[in-house]
Amino acid sequence: MEVTCGAASQFSALMIGSKRIRRKPNMAVVPLNQREIKECVIKICDLSRKGMCRRQRRFDFRLSHSSNHSQVLESGNLCAAFNEDWLLKNKAQEVASCLNGRSIFLLGMMGSGKTTVGRVLSEALGYSFVDSDAHVEQAMSGTSVAQIFKQRGESFFRDHESEALRKLSLVPRQVVATGGGVVVRPINWKFMRQGITVYLDVPLDALARRIAAVGTDSRPLLHFDSGDAYTTAFVGLFTLTKKRSEAYADADTTVSLLDLAANLHLEDVSDITPTAIAIEVLVEIEEFLLGENGRSLRMYP
Ligand SMILES: Nc1ncnc2c1ncn2[C@@H]1O[C@H](COP(=O)(O)OP(=O)(O)O)[C@@H](O)[C@H]1O
Ligand SMILES: O=C(O)C1=C[C@@H](OP(=O)(O)O)[C@@H](O)[C@H](O)C1
């Protein structure tokens, strides 16, 4: 095993506990012997198992979206490369044992990454992945969400969305990417509380950029005939956020991309990879299950 460092244009670092581990661009390849690799792995596992305080227990890492997803760890004299997928798998194993099969419901505005992060998370946990919009579309013989809105209206869609959530809430071991509007109907919370709800809090500008990049066609609440995609998406998202932010705050736990970016010393939330977000989701869920957010693990079977 060796540490491979490409000519990345930015630092890539992994912090374990309070120690900053940092890679500089164009750093040389550092071969490790078996004993050093083993020591690194043990150190990471120990830190993740120990009951350290919130900030210290967090796997903290700096990742480049454009990198090849390899990170470099430097601990004292030790250097090693650890793939973020490895970190995710490790955390997922730990959290899966606390979850007892409970499903995870990802909440957040359109474009917040519920589908993208949800897929990564489900794979790591060995859970199945479900998109509640896709569930509604299936129930409507393949009619798209955009078409349902157009032909039958929002209220009709919301009824079917609630029915989809009711059914999904009966199934364990799922990561459910919900539609952005599920939080507005109180009955949906009853269904989603069967699992754990996680709100992905993403700044409006990033949401609007993501949605403008793929177009607004599939998102009827943001689709208007005039205006550029970024501006219409931003204005639409802004209006919806004002109506929904209190409801999102009712989620069991929140992953704030702004906080995560700050923690990773990244200026742009878009530089945080879906895998890094998935790890943070697991960290937040673990904290929630351990009762640090006010509810006790004993509440769950
Ligand atoms: N962490 C991320 N960084 C950059 N782009 C992302 C990230 N997560 C999602 N995206 C992109 O944003 C768009 C919306 O993501 P998606 O997962 O479909 O959101 P949602 O399911 O919440 O509506 C997609 O084009 C996706 O590729
Ligand atoms: O925010 C909303 O009200 C909606 C979000 C969409 O899902 P995504 O959040 O997956 O885009 C979809 O359910 C529908 O267009 C309405």
* Chain mean position to CA 77: 33
Print the domain residue range for 113: 100-251
pTM over 0.90: no
Together in a domain, 105 and 59: no
59-84 pLDDT per residue, tens: 444 333 333 333 434 443 333 336 88
Confirm whether 32 is domain-assigned.
yes
Together in a domain, 108 and 203: yes
Examine the pLDDT at 268 and tell me if it is beyond 50.
yes
The mean pLDDT of 215-223, rounded to a whole number, is 86
* Nearest CA residue ID for atom 1, ligand 2: 180
Domain end among 23, 53, 88 = 88
In ligand 1, the atom with minimum distance to the C-alpha of 276 is 1
**Structural domains counted in the chain:** 2
Confirm whether 94 is domain-assigned.
no
- If you measure from the C-alpha of residue 160 to the centroid of ligand 2, how many angstroms do you get, rounded to a whole number? 13
Together in a domain, 123 and 39: no
Residue 77 CA to residue 215 CA, distance in Å, equals 49
Q: H helices of the chain, where?
A: 34-49, 54-57, 84-99, 114-125, 132-139, 145-152, 154-168, 186-192, 204-214, 229-248, 257-263, 274-289
Output the average pLDDT for the chain.
78
Please report the ipTM that was assigned to this predicted complex: 0.98
Whether 181 is in the pocket of ligand 2, judged by its Cβ within 6 Å, is: yes
Together in a domain, 149 and 16: no
* Nearest CA residue ID for atom 13, ligand 2: 179
107-159 pLDDT per residue, tens: 999 999 999 999 999 999 999 999 999 999 999 999 999 999 999 999 999 99
